[in-house]
Amino acid sequence: MAAREMPKGSIAKGALPEGCRLCARGSKMVLLVTGLCGAGCFYCPLSDKKRGKDVVYANELRAKGWKDIRREADLIGAEGAGITGGDPLRVTRRTGAYARSLKKAFGKDFHIHLYTASTDIQKIRAVVKAGVDEMRFHPPQATWKRIGKTAYPRAIAAAARAGANVGAEIPALPDMRAEIEALLGALAETDVAFVNLNELEFSETNWRRLKARGYSVKDDISSGVKGSEGMARTLVKAWKGPYALHYCSASYKDAVQLRNRLLRRAERVALPGDVRTDEGTLVKGVVETSHPTELRRKFMRIYRIPGNLIRVDQGFKRLEIAPWILEEIAGRLNEPSFIVEEYPTADRLEVERTPLKGRR
C-alpha cells in the first residue's frame, strides 16, 4: 500500500481514525479535563496555566462546568470531542461524567477520543463504558524500546475488548528513531488499529528542555523541531505493518485543523458588524474609551450608525463599530480607534491591530 500525501507535509498509510478525520474538519472540541499528569514527559507542550493544575478547558474557554462545555461545543457545531490533559484518567469520574453528558446532549454518534498514559484497566473500562469511542495511548518515551514488557499490551487489549477503537500517539523525536521503530514493531503484536506520529514542537514551556537535548527549530517560521518531520515521513513510507500509520505535521494542525475550527466558530459568533476572513478570524472596528455606553449613544445620534453595527464590548470595556464605518469617521474622532483582527475563540486572541488617524 502506497503512502497517502496530505496537506502541509502530513502523510498516512492506511485509514485515518475517526478522531483524526473530524479534527481535520474542525468539528472536534478539545476538552482538557485536567492538567494533572504523572508521566513527566520532557517534551510536554502544555502551558503554565494548565500544566500541573486541576483545571478544565473547552477549546480556549476556562470551563466552570457542564454549561460552559455544552456552549463551546455548540459554538463550533461539534461532531465530537477529544478528551485530553494532563491525563484524563487522573480524574476518571469527571472524565466519565463529561463523556456521558456529551453523548446524552449530542447523541450516540458524537465521537469521543481520549488520550492517556495510564494502564489502569479498571479506569480504562470505566471511560469506555461512559462513552469513549477511541482510546489513544501515550506511552512515555522510556518505555518505547521495551513496550512489550510493560502493562501497555494488557491495557490496549482491555480497551479493545471494552469496545473502543485503540491506537497510540507519540511525538516524532528525531534522535530516537531506533526506539520508535522498536515501539512500532512491538505494537504490531497488540490490538492497536493506528499509530499517530506528531511533529515535535517547541512551546513556551518546553523549549528549555528541548534546547538542552540539542534540538533546534527547522526554520525561521516554524516551531517544529529539525529532523522530526523527515524521520517520521521516512517511517510512514517504509511501513508494512498491520495497522494504519500517520504522521501529522505542526503546520497541518494549524493550517487545517485549527483553521477549520475557527471558521466553524466564526460562522456562529460573528456579529453583523464583524468581517470574517478566509482564515477564520474576525475583523472589527474598535474605539477605546472609558465610557463606551455613552459614546455609543452619541455616535448613533451624530453619525446615524445602525444599532446592530455598533456595540459595547463589556468584557474588553470598549466600543466596537463595523470596520467600514469606523474607517469613514475615524478622522473626526478624538478617541483612539483601531482596526483589530482577532480569533473568534473564547480568549479572543488578537492577531493584528492597525491604528486609524483621528483628530490628534
Task: Name the burial class of residue 352, with classes exposed (0-12), middle (13-18) and buried (19+) by CB atoms within 10 angstroms of its CB.
Answer: exposed
Asked if residues 82 and 104 have their Cβ atoms less than 8 Å apart, the reply is: no
pLDDT number for residue 314: 85
Q: Which three cell numbers stand for residue 110?
A: 458524537
3-state class (DSSP) for residue 166: strand
Residue type, 357: K
pLDDT number for residue 358: 64
Q: What are phi and psi of 256, to 5 degrees?
A: -115, -65
pLDDT number for residue 1: 73
pLDDT number for residue 201: 97
pLDDT number for residue 327: 96
Kindly state the helix (H) or strand (E) to which residue 354 belongs, with its residue range: strand 350-356
All residue ranges of the chain with pLDDT < 50 are none
Distances (CA, A) of 53 to 33, 34, 36, 222: 10, 7, 6, 28
Whether CATH 3.20.20 fits 4-265 = yes
Q: What are phi and psi of 130, to 5 degrees?
A: -75, -20
CA dist 185 and 187 (Å) reads: 6
pLDDT tens-digit profile of 193-231? 999 999 999 999 999 999 999 999 998 888 999 999 999
Domain range annotation of the chain: 4-265, 272-356
